[in-house]
Structure 1
Amino acid sequence: MRRRDKNGNRGAVALPTRRRREDPMAAYDRLPAPLRAWLQEAALPWSAQSCQRIWQAARRDGLSPEAALARLDAAERKTLNRSARA
């Protein structure tokens, strides 16, 4: 399990933040259990909407839940790399 500082994953990268129209906790509660577990360990402060979009695309492509989570890991690495270069 990853160790976090007291601020969690907020401020981990210099990417812009966005306001959401929907209640973020309600959106989080509707996510599948494996996706909620992944979000708890994520290095970035993902929105439920962003994760849901990647998850659903992976599942439509016929990927297993584990492979869908691997796709989310890859998206997170890509975002972290982009942020590191900025």
Structure 2
Amino acid sequence: MRAYDALPAELRDWVAHAARPWSPRSCLRLWRRAMAEEGCPKRARARLDRAEAAMLARDPGMA
């Protein structure tokens, strides 16, 4: 739970509403990369949404 609590607020909110379970470590890695490349929390969240949608498309049983 500490790892989840240590996530940035925007990312914690995204994880709380995600369609599939994410480990804090994996979503933080994606978040950092998205923030570095996108530079904006809103665009970074959209990128995480796309990553999750791609995962769900590959394995519909995850939804």
Which ranges of structure 1 fall in alignment gaps of 5 or more residues?
A: 1-24
Candidates 37, 42, 45, aligned match of 1:61: 37
Identity level (%) = 49
User: Root-mean-square deviation (CA), in Å?
Assistant: 1.4
The one-letter code of the counterpart of 1:67 is R
SS in 2 for 1:61: helix
Candidates 47, 51, 55, aligned match of 1:79: 55
Larger RCO: Structure 1 or Structure 2 (Cα < 8 Å, ≥ 6 residues apart)? 1
Q: Aligned pairs, how many?
A: 61
Structure showing the higher helix proportion among its residues: 2
Q: TM-score, normalised by structure 1?
A: 0.66
Larger of the two Rg values belongs to structure: 1
Q: TM-score, normalised by structure 2?
A: 0.89
